[in-house]
Amino acid sequence: MKQETKILIEKIKSANSILLTAHKNPDGDALCSVLALYQLIYLNYGKDSVCVYDGNVPESFRYISLRGRAHYFEQVDLSQPFDLAVLMDYGTTRNIGGTRGALDSAKFLVEIDHHKNDEKIGNLCIDDETAAATTCLIYDLMIDAGWEYDDKVLNLLAIGILTDTGNFKYAKDGRSLRIMAELVDKGVDIQRQLELLSHKPRKTIQTEARVVADAEFYYHNRLVIATVDSAAYKNLDGRGETALSLLGQIKGIEYIVLLKQQKENQIGVSLRSKFLPVNKIAEKLGGGGHICASGAVVNDSLENVKQRVIELFKGA
């Protein structure tokens, strides 16, 4: 057993209170990592951890196993320091949000992450940049520790991989597929798990369809920019994945940009590409992420951010 696994087990065993969380506005990997670890700790040590998030959990995650265990952080008493806190899939401290205080006051902080991160905050870091999803790391941990698991754990681990790899589109090596092969052999039904995620509100899909219809094309139609104004933003559920996916299916498109007016002068920028890297452009906007899928939040007007994005893609 790896040394870090041994330390984590010791900390779980001795803890009277455990906090589990991930990045703000959790995506499938963040939420499922938290819930899978919750269930593994419960099954193997009989302990109930507290699972919290900041921001919003998409409606389409409503039917994910154990979804009800994850609470908005302000609805939970976090005033007493936890013996153990585990922060998963966070990438950078900017993504933590309102749970930061509880993490800082915890007696021992473990981080489990697959993002590139130069400012790690864990007392113990179970990090691996080469993993396709944080649930891959939870899977490795589960096997290394010899933990018992159930169907809920397996399904949660599978959803984390499916959502973070875009159903394997972004899998850069065979590891996530090998883990999925193990999960399927143990009983995971991929089709059923994908269907479980198809519960977006009607207004979301209709808003995303309008956003696609109004998108603008630049640089010989290699770049497409779609915008969501603040009124339409309220209808989104998640990051606008449907719009990003539809635009990416257009012949000749190389780069897909979705600008979301979260507040008057706060624009969420989602960047996707088919082959060429976009993470450098995200970094120039103060964000970051993966090579073909990254993003940023820019405090400026929608029009100014759009002009900046067009400028940054010049010559790309």
Nearer to Mn ion, 164 or 241 (CB): 164
Nearer to Mn ion, 29 or 241 (CB): 29
179-212 burial: b if 16+ Cβ within 10 Å, else e? bbeebeeeebebeebeebbeebeeebeebbeebb
Contacts of 167 (CB under 8 A, 6+ apart): 194
Helix axes 3-14, 134-145, angle to 10 degrees: 80
DSSP-derived pairing of the beta strands 288-289 and 18-22: unpaired
What's the Rg (C-alpha) of the chain?
20
How many angstroms separate the CA atoms of 124 and 23, rounded?
18
The one-character DSSP state at 296 is E
Q: Which residues bind Mn ion (CB under 5 A)?
A: 29, 89, 134, 164
Nearer to Mn ion, 158 or 226 (CB): 158
How many angstroms separate the CA atoms of 34 and 31, rounded?
5
Q: Is the CB of residue 103 less than 8 Å from the CB of residue 85?
A: yes
Nearer to Mn ion, 89 or 140 (CB): 89
Strands (E), 230-292: 255-263, 266-273, 288-289
Nearer to Mn ion, 9 or 179 (CB): 179
Least distance to Mn ion from the beta carbon of 277, Å? 18
Least distance to Mn ion from the beta carbon of 33, Å? 8
Least distance to Mn ion from the beta carbon of 30, Å? 6
Least distance to Mn ion from the beta carbon of 89, Å? 4
Least distance to Mn ion from the beta carbon of 112, Å? 10
35: nearest Cα among 158, 216, 157 = 157
Least distance to Mn ion from the beta carbon of 235, Å? 25
Nearer to Mn ion, 53 or 313 (CB): 53
Phi and psi for 37 in degrees, rounded to 5?
Answer: -65, -35
Nearer to Mn ion, 162 or 305 (CB): 162
Least distance to Mn ion from the beta carbon of 36, Å? 13
Tokens of 61: 């995650």
DSSP-derived pairing of the beta strands 109-113 and 124-127: parallel
How many angstroms separate the CA atoms of 148 and 225, rounded?
47
Least distance to Mn ion from the beta carbon of 242, Å? 19
How many angstroms separate the CA atoms of 294 and 52, rounded?
24
